[in-house]
């Protein structure tokens, strides 16, 4: 990395740290309780240029690489994991445009990614783990594609304005198409009432004969699974970063409380049983951080990163759920109260054992990769 890039990255991380401390962390509990971002908060994210973090400079973005973006999400998740996941969904979708989009498609859409959220839509009511079973259809009509189908549990569904959707062509090949929320035939359905990451809208999109020009095809017909897998790998690195941030938040809560609270006259942190819990969470944070950073640096170096990406999310999500439970125990009865944030961190981390591929699917992929080595 050149000196200029190092300095730019330091400025980005400083800005994210300040934004998180001033704008996100104070609203963390409110976002969970309201199940939404307070009015104006998302606009501040846009106004601070955060949507454009990874957008290439030629499309008006800041052009930071994946390592910088992942570090930014870790920092953000120390204050609020929901907003970090909102950005994760956007960043991973931009990556697919950059890798697979034609110049015409990218020229039309990418400049708007600095102020409009993009989303990737694969899951359907029939299931998310096995995408070959989807029912969404793309039928070729002259120079256009006509797309119909129902996608559920889409991160930023309702907030996002541009959607990459996986669909089957008439000959049952999978492909990804780009649709816009303003197109005739597009509508939003149910928003999920999820137990965690409650700021992130996760919802349904309904496509009823949406007509898009042929260049709205991302990549080629038949490349749908590959693009979906690539999006998953990118998302898993970024979610690993979010999980490292959640683990760091858990650790801060544990340390602060263990220094203040006494068992009669002895501060909790002097008890071996508390030390073991704090140690477990600290090691889990470092392991998760190392895994996601390894995934991000391999991607930037052009090396295979899908296995380590799956490890980052598989390991990090379980560790953050278990770590949160350990910290809840340190806090005693207060830990079980909604007045303290630890219970919602457990719920937030739990989402990532499902989103972007269930833990079982990731473990299957890790095992396959090891067996085929």
Ligand X SMILES: Cc1cc2nc3c(=O)[nH]c(=O)nc-3n(C[C@H](O)[C@H](O)[C@H](O)COP(=O)(O)OP(=O)(O)OC[C@H]3O[C@@H](n4cnc5c(N)ncnc54)[C@H](O)[C@@H]3O)c2cc1C
Q: What does DSSP assign to residue 37?
A: P
User: Is the CB of 89 or the CB of 224 nearer to ligand X?
Assistant: 89
- Contact between 364 and ligand X per CB under 6 A: yes
Distance of CA 238 to the CA centre of its chain: 6
Looking at 106, 121, 169, 274, which residue binds ligand X (CB under 6 A)?
121
Pairing of strands 162-169, 137-141: parallel
> Which neighbouring-strand residues pair with 144?
141, 213
Q: Which of 100, 228, 99 is nearest to 166 (CA)?
A: 228
Counting contacts by CB under 6 A, is residue 9 touching ligand X?
no
> What is the closest distance, in whole angstroms, from the C-beta atom of residue 369 to ligand X in the complex?
15
Q: Does 218 bind ligand X (CB under 6 A)?
A: no
Among residues 122, 169, 314, 317, the one that binds ligand X under rule CB under 6 A: 122
Give the C-alpha separation, 87 to 182, whole Å: 22
Q: From residue 106, how far is each of 56, 178, 215 by CA, in Å?
A: 11, 11, 10
Which long-range contacts (C-beta less than 8 Å, at least 24 apart) are formed by 339-343?
Answer: 340/253, 341/28, 341/29, 341/32, 341/249, 341/253, 342/250, 342/253
Mark whether 326 is an active-site residue.
no
Binding mask 14-53 for ligand X (x = CB under 6 A): ----------------------------------------
Q: Which is nearer to ligand X, 316 or 335 (CB)?
A: 316
Q: Which 85-114 positions form the footprint of ligand X (CB under 6 A)?
A: 89
R_g (Cα) of the chain, nearest Å = 21
Figure out which of the listed residues 155, 230, 288, 317 binds ligand X, where binding follows CB under 6 A: 155
Closest CB to ligand X among 63 and 189? 189
The nearest distance, CB 293 to ligand X, in angstroms, is 23
Q: Name the residue nearer to ligand X (CB basis): 201 or 335.
A: 201
Report the residue from 102, 111, 361, 369 that binds ligand X according to the rule CB under 6 A. 361
- In the structure, how many helices (H) and strands (E) does the chain have? 11, 10
Residue 47 CA, chain-centre distance (Å), reads: 20
Q: Among 356, 360, 365, 370, which one carries the catalytic annotation?
A: 356
CB-nearer residue toward ligand X: 134 or 258? 134
User: Does residue number 154 form part of the binding site for ligand X (CB under 6 A)?
Assistant: yes
How big is the site for ligand X, counted in residues (CB under 6 A)? 25
**How far is 199 from 303, CA to CA, in rounded Å?**
34
The helix/strand/coil state of 353 is: coil
SS (H, E, C) 165-229: EEEEECCCCEEEEEEECCCCCEEEEEECCCCCCCCCCEEEEEEEEEEEEHHHEECCCCCHHHHHH
Site residues for ligand X, 177-196, by CB under 6 A, read: 194
120 binds ligand X (CB under 6 A): yes
Applying CB under 6 A, among 4, 130, 132, 265 the residue interacting with ligand X is 130
Q: Which residue is nearest to ligand X (CB)?
A: 128
| Residues near ligand X (CB under 6 A) | 89, 119-123, 127-130, 153-155, 194, 197, 202, 351, 354-358, 360-361, 364
Positions marked catalytic: 356
């Amino acid at each position: 990395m050149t000196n200029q890039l190092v300095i730019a990255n330091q400025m980005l991380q400083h800005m994210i740290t300040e934004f998180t401390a001033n704008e996100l962390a104070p609203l963390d509990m409110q976002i969970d309780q309201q199940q939404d971002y307070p009015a104006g908060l998302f606009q501040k994210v846009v106004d601070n240029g955060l949507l454009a973090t990874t957008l290439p400079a030629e499309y008006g973005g800041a052009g930071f690489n994946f390592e910088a973006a992942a570090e930014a999400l870790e920092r953000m998740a120390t204050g609020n994991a929901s907003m970090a996941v909102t950005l994760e969904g956007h960043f991973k979708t931009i990556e697919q445009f950059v890798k697979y989009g034609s110049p015409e498609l990218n020229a039309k859409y990418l400049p708007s990614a600095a102020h409009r959220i993009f989303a990737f839509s694969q899951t359907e009511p029939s299931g998310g783990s096995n995408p070959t079973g989807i029912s969404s259809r793309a039928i070729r009509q002259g120079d256009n594609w006509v797309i119909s189908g129902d996608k559920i549990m889409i991160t930023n569904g309702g907030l996002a304005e541009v959607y990459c959707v996986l669909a089957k062509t008439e000959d049952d090949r999978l492909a990804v198409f780009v649709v816009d929320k303003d197109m005739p035939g597009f509508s939003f359905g149910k928003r999920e009432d999820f137990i965690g990451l409650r700021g992130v809208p996760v919802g349904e999109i309904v496509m009823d004969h949406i007509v898009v020009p042929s260049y709205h095809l991302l990549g080629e017909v038949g490349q749908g699974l590959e693009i979906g897998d690539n999006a998953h790998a990118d998302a898993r690195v970024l979610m690993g970063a979010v999980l490292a941030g959640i683990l760091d938040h858990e650790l801060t809560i544990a340390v602060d409380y263990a220094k203040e609270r006494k068992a009669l006259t002895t501060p909790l942190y002097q008890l071996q049983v508390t030390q073991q819990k704090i140690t477990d969470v600290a090691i889990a944070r470092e392991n998760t951080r190392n895994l996601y950073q390894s995934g991000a640096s391999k991607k930037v170096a052009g090396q295979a990163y899908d296995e380590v990406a799956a490890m980052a999310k598989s390991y990090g999500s379980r560790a953050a759920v278990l770590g949160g439970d350990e910290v809840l125990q340190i806090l005693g009865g207060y830990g079980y109260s909604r007045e303290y944030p630890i219970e919602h961190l457990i719920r937030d981390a739990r989402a990532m054992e499902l989103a972007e591929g269930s833990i079982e699917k990731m473990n299957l992929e890790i095992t396959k990769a090891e067996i085929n080595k």
